[in-house]
Structure formats: C-alpha cells, structure tokens
Amino acid sequence: MAVKGFLRIEGDDNHLIWHLDRDDPEDKQILARVESVYLITDAAGAPLVWSGSYKDLGFDQPAYVKQVLSTRVQPVWQEKRDASGVRYLIRASYVLNETRTGKFYVAIGKSLAANDKLLTQFTWLCLALMPLVVVIGIGTGWVVAGRALQPVMAIARAAQRISGSNLSLRIPERQAKDELEYLVETFNDMISRLEQSFIQMRQFSTDVSHELRTPITVIRGQLEVALFTAHTTEQYRDAIVTALGDVERLSQIVRALLLLSQAETGQVVLQLQPLDLVETARGITEQFEIPAEGAGVDISFRAGSMKCTGEFDRVQIERMLSNLISNAVKFTPPGGNVRVSADRAGDCAEIVVEDTGRGIAPEHLPHIFDRFYRVRGMEEQASPEKGLGLGLSFVNWIVRAHAGTIDVKSEPGKGTTFTVRLPFHPHPPDTTVTDNTREMVMKPV
C-alpha cells in the first residue's frame, strides 16, 4: 500500500493530511481501507492518531516502534489478533514530516477474516470432497487397470487352453503394435517352435518303431520257417546266419540312432585337431576303390592347388566323407563316375562329391537330410543293401557341428553333386563326449 504517497504530516502539532480526492471513488476506497485499521505514532512510540479497530488490537510497544524506525528493511510485517480472535496483518513503516526532520511510525492493518473464512471454507470443501475424489479415483483406476489387463487375461486364458495335444492353438493377435502385441507374437513363436519339436518327436518315434519292427518281423519269420521246415544242420545254420545278418542290421540301426540323438542333443563334442582335408578325402576315396570297381563305377580323386589344413574332427570328417561317397557309389549305375575333390575356397575348405548316378527328384531334395528319409523303391534296385536313411542326417550334423554348410544339386537321371564347405577354425559348442561316439558308423556299399 503506497501510503507514503498519500500521507503528509505537517506543523508542530503533527497535523495529518491525506492527499486524496475524497470525491474520487477509487481514492475514497483506498482511504477507507487505510483508515479502517491504522496507527501513527511519533518516533518514541507515543500514539498520535489511530483507528478504533487498531486500538482494539493494542498499540504497538515503543521498543517495537523504534525497531521498525531503525530497520533498513521496510516495511515490517506482523500479525495481530483482536479480542474476538480475528487475525490482522499489520504493515509497519515510517513517513517523514513536512520538513523531513522527524520520523513517524505508520502501521496499517488489514483484517484477514475474509481470507480465514475462505481458507476454512476451502478446507471443509476439500474434506467433504475427499471421499468422493477417493471413490472416483479408485473407480477410474479399477476400470483403467481392468482394461489394461484384459489382454493379459486373454493371453493367460489362451495359454491355459494350449497343451501337448493342441499345440496348433495360437493366441489371437490384437494388431495393436504395443508391448503386449510383442508378447503375444513371442508367445506364439514359442508355441510354433514347441509344436515343431513335438511333430519331430512324434515322427521320430513312429519312424523308429517302424524301422525296428521290420527287421524283427523278418528275423521272426526266418526263425519260424527254419523251425518248421529245416531238417538238416546245414539248413538250421543257414537260417541262423540270415537271422544274424538281420540282427546285425538291427543293432546297426540302434547304434546309429543312439549316436545321432547324442550328437543332436549336444552330447558329442568335436575333437578338433590339425587335419589335412586333401589327404583325408584322398584316403577315404581310396577305401571305396574296390567296392566301386565291384559296382562297375569309376571313382577318382582330384586335389586342389591349395593346402587344406585346418582344425577338424578326424573321425567325424571321415564319417561324413564315407557317407557321401558310399551314397554316390551306391546310387550310380555301372559305367558311371564318382568324382571327389578337395580344395580351398576363401576361408573354407571345399569338398565336392559328384556322381553321374540316378539323381534325386526335386520333391525329395528338401527331405534327404531328415532321419530315415529314403527315396523309397529305388535304392533296393540300386543296391541289394538297404539304406538306413540316417547317413545324410549324420552328414548334416557333422557339417553343422563344424560350423560349415552343405549344398546339394541334383538332376534325375544325370547325377548329384554334394558340396561341403567347412571353415578352417570352427568354434563348435562345448559339450561332453561319450565313448561310443568315436565308433565309426560306415555304410556298407
């Protein structure tokens, strides 16, 4: 309140003059406000003029007046209460008299009754509205949380419905492009992978039981026939020899299966050692010269110009080569050729096994690396020795374990080419070794 601009104290009797136009409604309002609660004292604190209401509040002590007059911080504020407890905010300052020789203490107050009333009303209003706000808050939270959790509940319900027998079920996608959608997609992907594994497992057990049942039935038949029809020791001997051949085939299947499942479940660790692939491939090719000659097939080996020494598992590489070359010889008719070569191709060693045999039809190509997959009806013609359908599964595992790739190109009636690329320094996963994995499972040709 700019009191100093309106107030002047004149003459020896400290005459008080308000410089205001009492006819001006604004000035009149200011004066009414200032005059309603005010006190003017001399420098010693003796009251000179005051309003009735200020007297009710009690005059300010001379010590306080002197303190206000001497303080540099102007104005000084204090709070007072009248007899009925109404609070007043008092603003204390000073004015100089006309000749600027004397200081006068001027305190002007303002009732805080209206503020207090407003504050009280506001407090009550808050208290009254608080339960309502809490109820609305809880209600809104409930609805919002319910909506937000609805998809989660849907996911949970769908997940509960999915079991081993209905893995084809999927959680419906919401097309919302949010985190929950991502969760749903991830969940569905996981179920797809599980479903794939279940299908493979089922297929595998069907294949195994089928593969084992056939030789068992044959052995049983042979023994029964021998029991009822054989008369001489020679006839019994023949029956036993034939049955033993089938028992051997049976144990070969079991051994191969065991080994393959150990390999695929990571129980086989590669025993890497420096190995010259050119020499290894040459050696295995030579091993097939006699059987190839017997089948009327010309087999040859060609070494590339570069050295092919890297870190490989000798036993597994020999197994891989043996399987590929024996297939090539087995499925090539007399008069055909089998060409094996080993060379360096960039960072990898490249082994190619190529034949001019019967080839593989395009519809069979994607499946030839599957366990027990055989192009039925044809290998019996190609060779009296029935294949297990496991050879290429081994080849595939060995190549993958060496972090390599295998590629097959085939044209029915013209021939097949298998191309294996192996990095010189593979980093296979660290797994444990079991003794029987070192056993060679070589195919008879």
The yes or no reply on residue 368 touching ligand ADP (CB under 6 A) is yes
C-beta atoms surrounding 400 within 10 Å = 15
Per CB under 6 A, the segment of 98-106, 196-204, 213-221, 388-396 that binds ligand ADP is 388-396
* 337-345 and 298-303 strand pairing: parallel
Residue 228 Cβ vs ligand ADP, minimum distance, rounded to whole Å: 33
The yes or no reply on residue 355 touching ligand ADP (CB under 6 A) is yes
Residue 428 Cβ vs ligand ADP, minimum distance, rounded to whole Å: 22
CA distance 197 to 72: 89
Per CB under 6 A, the segment of 23-31, 304-312, 371-379, 426-434 that binds ligand ADP is 371-379
The yes or no reply on residue 253 touching ligand ADP (CB under 6 A) is no
Nearer to ligand ADP, 294 or 412 (CB): 412
Nearer to ligand ADP, 18 or 369 (CB): 369
- Indicate which single residue of 3, 388, 399, 422 sits in contact with ligand ADP (rule: CB under 6 A): 388
Per CB under 6 A, contacts with ligand ADP among 408-427 are: 416
| Type of residue found at 437 | T
Our measurement of the distance from residue 372's CA atom to the centroid of its chain's CA atoms, rounded to an integer in Å, reads 36
Contacting residues for 441 by C-beta, under 8 A, at least 6 apart? 252, 255, 256, 259, 319, 394
The yes or no reply on residue 211 touching ligand ADP (CB under 6 A) is no
CA distance 336 to 415: 9
The yes or no reply on residue 357 touching ligand ADP (CB under 6 A) is yes
Nearer to ligand ADP, 141 or 294 (CB): 294
Nearer to ligand ADP, 49 or 365 (CB): 365
Nearest 10 degrees: Cα torsion 23, 26, 32, 33: -170
CA distance 412 to 394: 23
Contacting residues for 225 by C-beta, under 8 A, at least 6 apart? 239
Residue 360 Cβ vs ligand ADP, minimum distance, rounded to whole Å: 5
- Indicate which single residue of 268, 349, 375, 422 sits in contact with ligand ADP (rule: CB under 6 A): 375
Helices (H), 231-369: 233-264, 277-287, 289-294, 314-330
The yes or no reply on residue 358 touching ligand ADP (CB under 6 A) is yes
Compute φ and ψ for 403, nearest 5 degrees: 60, 30
CA distance 401 to 269: 9
Nearest-CB residue to ligand ADP?
A: 387
Running DSSP on this structure, what letter comes out for residue 367? G
Nearer to ligand ADP, 9 or 256 (CB): 256
Per CB under 6 A, contacts with ligand ADP among 313-332 are: 323, 327-328, 331
- Indicate which single residue of 6, 59, 64, 373 sits in contact with ligand ADP (rule: CB under 6 A): 373
Per CB under 6 A, the segment of 29-37, 180-188, 298-306, 382-390 that binds ligand ADP is 382-390
The yes or no reply on residue 360 touching ligand ADP (CB under 6 A) is yes
What does the DSSP assignment read for 59-80? PPPHHHHHHHHH-SS-SEEEEE
Nearer to ligand ADP, 41 or 332 (CB): 332
CA distance 23 to 141: 60
The yes or no reply on residue 310 touching ligand ADP (CB under 6 A) is no
Structure tokens given for 274? 């420096």
Structure tokens given for 372? 């027990």
Would you tell me which residues interact with ligand ADP (CB under 6 A)? 323, 327-328, 331, 355, 357-360, 368, 373-375, 379, 387-393, 416
